[in-house]
Structure 1
Amino acid sequence: MQLLALTASALALAGSAVAQESARFGGVSVYPTTVKVGETFTVHYNSTTAVHQPKYYDAYIQGTDANGFIQPPYLLQRTVFPTDGTKNVYFNTTVPPIGLGQNVSHLIWAYVTYPVDNTPDAPLEYAGVSTGIYVDVPY
């Protein structure tokens, strides 16, 4: 019973950490969430909840294999964030044929570069949020 309570507590904390990151840096989602190499999917970055609006937004795909080896991130798109009040950025892309294999879990990362105090000449910080995507590899 204590193990169940401990597990539930850990899950609640993990969910809380994700919510905090989303509140600070915005959120990212993909559709569909299962794709094959070469298939098109949509990446959506939403800065509505971000404390600081991004100056730049970079989207990456990154995999981790079953042994815990973290693959290098692969840039999907680099964007100068719109200054017209836009809070949502969408783009279509495909899964690149790199670093893929059986038993590799993938994340889509939204890395944002933002001014620390929302003024044009402020120092820039860098942070990110992610979401999972399942890449169906045919081997």
Structure 2
Amino acid sequence: MLVEWSAASVGLMVSAVSPTYAVAVSVSGPLLTVFSLTGGLYTNVGKMPHWVSWVQYLSWFRFGYESLVVNQFRFKDKLDCLPSDGTQCERDGHEVVQNLWFDEENLYWNWLYMLVYIIIVHMIGYNGILLRAKLSR
């Protein structure tokens, strides 16, 4: 739910601060791509180059995905896995979380970060609407 609210708030902000529909659509695609690429879905967050790794903290994907992984694997004591082609399998949930460079302690912090993220992004969008209304007079 927090991930959806975060995504909706970014959409609201982009539409509120963009002067036209075309600009909003042009900005939202690349923004969504950058956030999804740096959020841990496609790239291990611990192995990203330093010059781009800071973007993960602006992405709701990062907080949501880490929360999902931690929630699903933190109490798994044993994982059943048949290694194939010489690949290694994680033995337990803790190892899954560690291999993704996530921290089990961040579960509740991620929820708080997403709430704060939602509030801040909504405030930016609200200020964008106020500015556009003021400039249109």
TM over 0.5: no
Return the structure number with greater helix share. 2
Q: TM-score, normalised by structure 1?
A: 0.26
Query: Between Structure 1 and Structure 2, whose CA radius of gyration is higher?
Result: 2
> Structure 2 length normalisation: TM-score?
0.26
